[in-house]
Structure 1
Amino acid sequence: MSLKKSILFIILILLVDQVSKIYIKTHFILGEDVTVFNWFKIYFIENDGMAWGTKISDFVSFISDRTAKIALTVFRIVAIFGIGYWLYDATRKQNSQILIWAVALIFAGALGNIIDSVFYGVLFDDSFGQVASFMPASGGYDGLLHGKVVDMLYFPLWKGYLPEWLPFYGGTYFTFFDPVFNIADMAISTGFGLLIVFNKRAFAD
């Protein structure tokens, strides 16, 4: 895949990701959900940190949440330049198609979530108890670099109590699959999945 086709592919993923996020943000109240199937819901939450809602401040106690948020966003921005160069280099050297597809997916997903982190705090007002407005006259819910990532895809495939004989978790209520995610997260996960499953083909000389 050429660099031009890679860019078009990235733009397509970004459009789907951002359109879905903007729709959810401007039509759902935070915490609202719609059941599509028993095993699939549209469930609006916002993620202020890393994967699974983890924050840097959860591990480094002397850093405030706001400082940690800026550090995470800046790290993501720096990382996206590295991933972008990786994609450019892979297409220039005509590396394997699997590698190029994978890096393009990771780049698109990372950029999709960066847009939320950098701009959404300025572009939207709060979603607590109300449907957010785009570009509100009163201003956004936070400043630049303090936006929250919009998540909405929820697949609770199974819910129930685990067997008592299981060590540590026996008898506890369990949901599979519990995380809520978005299109950008799917792109990143798919990209890394391709690199893991097809590792030898992806990095073949």
Structure 2
Amino acid sequence: MRQYKYFVLTLTIVAIDQAVKLLVHYNMTMGPAGEINLLGEWFKLHYVLNRGMAFGLSFGAGYGKLALTVFRLLAILFIAYGLFRLTKTKYHAGLLWCIAAILGGAIGNLVDSVFYGALLDNAPYNSITPWFHGQVIDMLYFDFWEGYLPDWFPLWGGKKVALLPIFNMADVAILVGVLGILVFQKTFFRQAESRLTQV
């Protein structure tokens, strides 16, 4: 029974993430016209669609997007299986909470990719099918700076970019989980090391 509490966190993150995304989709206009200031001019709700990779990178709307979505699904299955196995060991509970948060965030964004193209009709126009080609809904925006990068700049050259990307609740969960593991890794893995030396 001990292991299921971590999956409760995962499911809670998915539920919150999806609720926020659907509220934004059905109640906001995309782009600057629908922007809502939350904290002055620097933290806003700003509805955009992301084809699915971090920082606006894309594999395209055809088989590249399909491959990316399938890869994400396999990664999530691997993480879920790993979390389930780790809950049966004596690893630090903090590590398990962090992995559960990462899993919840990953599932939240996968739901968009798998279903939203068909259910919310947000697949790019040249997609081979709306299923598995949905665009991820992003809305949280720290508006510190945005402008155009010169053409010679790798990947984003010649495009309008923001200092920080627009993100969603799933991204927050992933970031918190990863940062938690990085910051507390010595604490998390000390128990495992001591167990190995006792064998």
TM-score (norm 1): 0.77
* Cα deviation code 1:32-78 (max 9, x no counterpart): 21111222100000110311111235xxxxxxx31110000000000
Q: Are 1:41 and 2:44 counterparts?
A: yes
Match of 1:190 in 2: 176
Match of 1:92 in 2: 88
CA drift of 1:160 comes to 8.5
Which structure 2 segments of 5+ residues have no match?
A: 124-128, 148-159, 193-199
CA drift of 1:96 comes to 0.6
Match of 1:22 in 2: 22
* Cα deviation code 1:99-151 (max 9, x no counterpart): 10110011000000000000001111359xxxxxxxxxxxxxx6110100000
Q: Which has the higher helix share?
A: 2
Give the SS at the match of 1:203.
helix
Match of 1:155 in 2: 142
Aligned AA (1:39): W
Give the SS at the match of 2:137.
strand
CA drift of 1:14 comes to 1.0
Q: Distance in 1 between matches of 2:90 and 2:103?
A: 18
Task: Work out whether residues 52 and 58 of structure 2, in 8 Å CA contact, stay in contact via their aligned partners in 1.
Answer: yes
Identify if the C-alpha distance between structure 1 residues 124 and 201 changes in structure 2 by more than 3 Å, giving closer, same or farther.
Answer: same
Equivalent residues in 2 for 1:85-124, closer than 5 Å: 85-124=81-120
TM-score (norm 2): 0.79
Task: Work out whether residues 76 and 103 of structure 2, in 8 Å CA contact, stay in contact via their aligned partners in 1.
Answer: yes
Aligned AA (2:25): K
Q: Distance in 2 between matches of 1:26 and 1:7?
A: 28
Give the SS at the match of 2:29.
coil
Match of 2:188 in 1: 202
Task: Work out whether residues 154 and 179 of structure 1, in 8 Å CA contact, stay in contact via their aligned partners in 2.
Answer: yes
Q: Distance in 2 between matches of 1:29 and 1:81?
A: 34
Q: Are 1:146 and 2:170 counterparts?
A: no
CA drift of 1:182 comes to 0.4
Aligned AA (1:24): V
Structure 1 outlier segments of 4+, above 6 Å: none
Match of 2:121 in 1: 125
Q: Distance in 2 between matches of 1:76 and 1:174?
A: 26
Match of 1:83 in 2: 79
Match of 1:136 in 2: none
Aligned AA (1:40): F
Match of 2:13 in 1: 13
CA drift of 1:174 comes to 8.8
Task: Choose which of 46, 50, 57 in structure 2 pairs with 1:54.
Answer: 57
Identify if the C-alpha distance between structure 1 residues 119 and 84 changes in structure 2 by more than 3 Å, giving closer, same or farther.
Answer: same
Number of residue equivalences: 172
